[in-house]
Amino acid sequence: MIAFTRANTYFKEINTEILALSVDSLSSHLAWVYDIYCRTGIKISFPIIADRNSIIARRYGMISNEESTTETVRNVYIIDEKQVIRTILIYPMNVGRFIPEILRTVRALQMVDCMGGATAANWMPNQPVIIPAPKTYEELEKRVEYINKNKNGINWYLSFEEPNKKCISEAKSENNIEGEEKC
């Protein structure tokens, strides 16, 4: 809770909202939030849903019977604006989440949504994106020419393109108009 609150500014910069789900009661949530504030001065900056009957947690596979029949594992779901689950990260109860990886994953999804293509292993924001492979022989020839000219690939099936500046700026924009395509 504290780590996500500390990183919430970064999530907001990339048009991402945090929402927590817990199988504990509303009064437990209030007690946590108050205790965190009293001990650290940090105010939790996102909503926490009380899933007292574990209905949501079970539907999303957040209860690991190997670990506990009542406690949730530390799952992170990245859900896009169309309510499609794009990424599920599952952490055991005794391993903390890694916020930089969650931010990187959101940025990677936004970049490939905006530009197409894919991100390579160990991709970091502002690094080149893998261009989709050609679908015709004519496109393949153009791709080989493109690679030879720009020195930006290994072969026709693996070439790269610098991130589109529009995609970078839209991913960072907090003021996207409703209905406008987002990266």
Architecture of domain 103-172: 2-Layer Sandwich (3.30)
Using the predicted structure, report yes or no on whether residue 69 has a pLDDT greater than 70: no
Beta bridge partners of 22: 50
Beta bridge partners of 90: 75
Say whether 103-172 and 2-96 share the same fold. Answer: no
Q: Which amino acid is it at 180?
A: E
DSSP element (H, E) containing 76 = strand 74-79
Number of C-beta neighbours around residue 151 at 10 A? 7
Q: Mind listing the pLDDT tens digit for each residue in 93-116?
A: 888 999 999 999 999 999 999 999
- Burial class (CB within 10 angstroms; exposed 0-12, middle 13-18, buried 19+) of 50: middle
Looking at residue 172, its pLDDT comes to 58
Q: Which amino acid is it at 119?
A: T
CATH 3.40.30.10 assigned to 2-96: yes
Looking at residue 119, its pLDDT comes to 96
Q: Mind listing the pLDDT tens digit for each residue in 1-51?
A: 999 999 999 999 999 999 999 888 999 999 999 999 999 999 999 999 999
- For the chain, what are the domain ranges? 2-96, 103-172
Using the predicted structure, report yes or no on whether residue 182 has a pLDDT greater than 80: no
Angle value at C-alpha 160, between 159 and 166, nearest 5 degrees: 150
> Helix or strand or coil: residue 149?
helix
Q: Which residue has the higher pLDDT, 73 or 159?
A: 159
Beta bridge partners of 176: none
Looking at residue 176, its pLDDT comes to 39
